[in-house]
Every structure is written in C-alpha cells, then in structure tokens.
Structure 1
Amino acid sequence: MVRVVVIEDENISSNYIVALLKKYCSDKFTVEKEIDNIVEAVNWFLDNDIPDLIFMDVHLSDGLCFEIFNKVEISCPIIFTTAYDEYAIKAFKTNGIDYLLKPITEKDFYQSVMKFFKVRRDRDSQLRENEKIRLLDINTSKNYKQRFLVKLGNKYTPLKIENIAYFYKDSLVFIRDFNGNSYPISSSLSNIESSIDSNVFFRANRKILVNINAIDYLAQYKPGQLAIRVKPKFEEVIVLSQEKSSQLKSLLN
C-alpha cells in the first residue's frame, strides 16, 4: 500500500483529496495522516517514517509550506495543491512531481496520481539497475583463486584453475584435471566453491563441483531432472535436482 500524508488547512480540500483517493485507488493508497499546519507537519515528520507520497497545500494556516523543508528532510514525491500559480518553480525545486491548481478536477487529480506511479516505477527500475551494477562490480572485482597447490610424489605443483575438470568428494576431496589425474586436497567443496568463479564451476550436487567446460553432454534422467556426463569420466552418475537442472540450463544457455 502507498502511504499518503495530506497537508491541507482547508477541511473541504483535505476531504476532497481523501475522497478521490478512495474513489480511484482505494486498494492502493492508505491515508496515514491529515495535517493542517507547519508546526504539526514538522513534528509529525520528526516522529514518523517518511510516507510514500504527500499532497501538500502551499498556503497553510501558519505560513507557506516551504518552511517545512527548512526543518526536516523530505525525500518522497510531493503533489502540490494550491490556488496560487506563482509558487510552481519553487515547488519543483523540492520533491514536487506535480502542481495542481484549485479547484482540482477529477481528471487532473487522476493524471497526477498516474504520474506518481510512473515516477515510482522509474525509481524502482533505476534502483534495480544500480543493484545489478553493484553486484557486477562486486563479481568483477572479486579475486577468485587462480591455482591450487597439489602434491605429486614428494613435490608440490601449482595447478591452474583452467586445467581443473572438477572437484569431487570421496573419503577426501580430490581435484581431477583434464588429463585424468586426481589429487587430494585439504579443503571442503563448500570452501572451494566460495573461492572460485561460479560462472565457470557449477555445484552439481553434494559430491561434485564441475567445470562447465568439462561437461560432455546432458541427458534426461527423470521428468525435470538431468544427468550430466563429464570428461574425464566420473565414476558415478551425476544426477541433478530439478532446481540444479534449471540452474545449469540457464548457465549454459
């Protein structure tokens, strides 16, 4: 629900706005507070969360509404309602998204509400895009492991991540490279999974973490479930859950 505050010193005008909200948008709006003066408005904003939308008259019983902005920060959209057109520029220097001149027609009111929803959609879309960029930056800047130190006889050798076909769990956790060699490693699959690129390595099930470049083919196992064949060959059938099957198809597509 969109939380609304109406700041209007004329009861008739305030009741009219509330009535129009109920008429056109009763399932979307809830009026949290009706206020008729600057002092009460300031005190209310200091004690309560900022609403989603404000209808605000310019001339209030104790002065111009712009005094409110000098005392509290208001970040939500505002639809100004007034009988005076000379304050429009000043109104739009705040969070004003519309300026309705009295007497307000139902058509103008409805268009103003539609403008609010467009502003909200645009804002939400921008927030989602910003979040995508933030996550992309995090993933891009993350330092994934580029090699693992494996033991060959009495020697330790760094094995590059691109040469690893999969990690698997038997009694211990092992690395298998594309040449078919297996090396034990002192780490859990979960710890390994968190340290390597999830766009390259896919956790197929609790036993194996597969380089997607090692996948030979996918096969239908049960309705909604896949089994995968890898190279070099893994000794067990690698069966994916329905959720994992969907994730892998999205990753490979």
Structure 2
Amino acid sequence: MIKVTVVEDESVSSNHIVNLLNKYCSEEIIVEKEIDNILDALKWFAENDNPDLIFMDIQLSDGSCFEIFNYVDINCPIIFTTAYDEYAIKAFKNNGIDYLLKPITEKDFYQAIMKFFKIRREKSFRQEVNEVKEKVKSLEQVAKPKLFKERFLVKLGNKYTPLKIDDIAYFYKDDIVFIRSFNGNNYPINGSLSSIESCIDANKFVRVNRKVIVNINAIEYLAQYKPGQLVIKLNPRFEDVIVLSQEKSSYLKNLLN
C-alpha cells in the first residue's frame, strides 16, 4: 500500500482530499496520518519514516509549511495545496510535483494523483534497470578471466632473461625472494611472496607456508608427518623441511587428486 500523509489545517479541505483519494485509488493508497499544524508535523516527520506521498497546505494555522523543511528531511513527493498562487516556485524547490489551487476540483486532483503514479512507475522502472545493470556488471566481472603472469624477467650475470612460468619450480624467501627453476638455477627477484601469489594461477602454484610458493608439478611426494599433517618433498630439492598445516594438507591433497 502507498502511504499518504495529509498536512492541512482546514478540516473541510482535509476531508475533501481524503474523499477523493478513496474515490480514485482506495485500493492502492492508505491515509496514514492527518496533521493540522507545523509543530505536530515536525514531531511526526521526526519520529516516523517518510510516507510515499504528502498533500501539504502551504498556509497552516501556525505559519508557513516551508518552516517544516528547515528542521526535518522530507524526501518523498509532495502535492502542495493553497488558496494562493505566489508560492509555486518555492513549492517545486521542495519536492513539489504539483500545485493545486483551492477549491480543489476533481479534475485537478485526478491529474495530480496520476502524475504521482506516473513518477512512481518511472522511478521504479529506473531502479529495476539500474539493478539489472549492476547484476550484469557483477556477472561480467565474475565471467571475466583473470590474467596471470606468464613469465618473470630474471637476471643471471649481466643478462636479463624472461623465464616462463611453467619453468619455475618454486618461489622461496631467504632474506630476499628467489626463483628456483626446474633445472636447479636460482634467480633473485624483486617483490614479496604475497605480491607474487596475487599474480600467478592458484591452480598451478600453492603457498605452502610463509617462505615457499610451490608449482604443483615440482611436488615429488607427500609424506605423513603427524595425524592430519603432511611433509612435502620437492624436486628440485628444497633445503628446509616443509611441514604443511592440517588445512593446507587437506587443500593440497584435494588439488592434486
């Protein structure tokens, strides 16, 4: 249901608006609150969520309705009602979608309420379009393949050589980070293991501990260490014993299976 608040200090005018709402859109709209002065309006809008639509008289018994906007945020459409026409510009600067001169005719009321429904439908449609666009964008991001590094530029003597990723047995840290190739050569490189891990394929390389990232094709075998834990033997040989955590042991067994 669409919630409507009527701010009107003349009971005849307030009843007229409510009757017209019941006549033209009783199944879609419910009048949530009728208010006849600024102080009560301030209290109501401060303590409650904004309705979907407001009918608001400009001249209330205790002042101009525009005083309300100085104290509370109102972000819903407003149809202003008044016996005067000099406030139109100010009304449209305060969420006004229409401006009805009293006495309010059924024709003017009907046109105003239809304008509200049109704006509401268009806003809903725009929201749906934006939601669809966001979903498509998310799906595109998921579907877009991540590009991994295919080679590292390494220095051997005075020469810089591109080393293909498939020729790398593992990366390891010993003060600085090194690459060990399958032919047993060691190459110092710049960067951290974390930065390297972020740019290589996780289906081919596994961070087995804080010091080593291993190409799964360099794994010679896994051996039992403790219940649920494994040690890993690499080829070419890595000098330190690599003990896998239970979580890493389970992950690596599933990856290699």
Q: Any residues of structure 2 matched to 1:22-33 within 5 Å, and which?
A: 22-33=22-33
Confirm whether residue 15 of structure 1 aligns to residue 15 of structure 2. yes
Distance 1:132 1:63, change over 3 A: same
Matches within 5 A, 1:13-162: 13-142=13-142, 144=145, 149=203, 156=217
Are residues 140 and 29 of structure 1, via their aligned partners in 2, closer, same or farther at CA, if it must alter by over 3 Å? same
**Cα offsets for 1:130-169 (capped at 9, x unmatched):** 2222223333344655667369xx9739xxxxxxxxxxxx
2-structure distance, mates of 1:29, 1:112: 14
2:124 maps to amino acid: D
What CA RMSD, in Å, does the superposition of the two structures yield over aligned residues? 2.4
Identical aligned residues as a percent: 60
- Secondary structure at the aligned position of 2:49 is classed as coil
Paired with 1:66 and 1:54, the residues of 2 have a C-alpha distance of 13
- Cα distance between partner residues in 2 of 1:74 and 1:156: 64
Q: Does the 8 Å CA contact 1:7/1:37 hold for their aligned counterparts? A: yes
TM-aligned CA distance change 1:34 to 1:148, over 3 Å: same
After TM superposition, the score normalised by the length of structure 2 is: 0.57
Could you report, residue by residue, the CA deviation over 1:177-216 in whole angstroms, capped at 9, with x for unpaired residues?
xxxxxxx9836xxxxxxxxxxxxxxxxxxxxxxxxxxxxx
The CA deviation at 1:44 is: 0.2
Q: CA–CA distance in 2 between the matches of 1:104 and 1:121?
A: 25
Whether contact under 8 Å (1:149, 1:156) holds in the other structure is no
Amino acid at match of 2:34: E
Give the distance between the partners of 1:83 and 1:185, measured in 2 at CA.
81
- 3-state SS, counterpart of residue 9 of structure 2: coil
Q: How far apart, in 1, do the equivalents of 2:24 and 2:66 lie? A: 29
CA distance in 1, matches of 2:203, 2:78: 61
Do the aligned residues in 2 keep the contact of 1:150 with 1:185 (CA within 8 Å)?
Answer: no
**Unmatched segments (≥5 aa) in structure 1:** 158-183, 188-253
Structure-1-length-normalised TM-score: 0.58
Secondary structure of 1:156's counterpart equals helix
Q: State the alpha-carbon separation in 1 of the partners of residues 254 and 89 from structure 2.
A: 68
AA paired with 1:43?
Answer: K
* Equivalent position of 1:249 in the other structure: none
Partner of 1:211: none
Q: What residue number does 1:186 align with?
A: 254
Give 1:66 deviation, angstroms: 0.5
In structure 2, runs of 5+ residues without a counterpart are 148-200, 206-214, 219-251
Aligned length: 159
Quick one: distance in 2 between partners of 1:155 and 1:71? 65
Equivalent-residue separation in structure 2 for 1:67 and 1:73 (angstroms): 12
Structure 2: distance between partners of 1:5 and 1:36 = 11
SS in 2 for 1:149: coil
1:24-51 deviation per Cα after TM superposition (whole angstroms, max 9, x unaligned): 1111110010001111001001111110
Shift of 1:129: 1.8
Supply the distance in 2 between the matched residues of 1:148 and 1:73 (Cα, whole angstroms). Answer: 50
Is the 8 Å Cα contact of residues 82 and 102 (structure 1) preserved in structure 2?
Answer: yes
Give the equivalent residue in structure 2 for 1:2: 2
For 1:8 and 1:81, locate their aligned partners in 2 and report how far apart those are by CA, in whole Å: 9
Say if 1:9 and 1:35, in contact at 8 Å, map to a contact too: yes
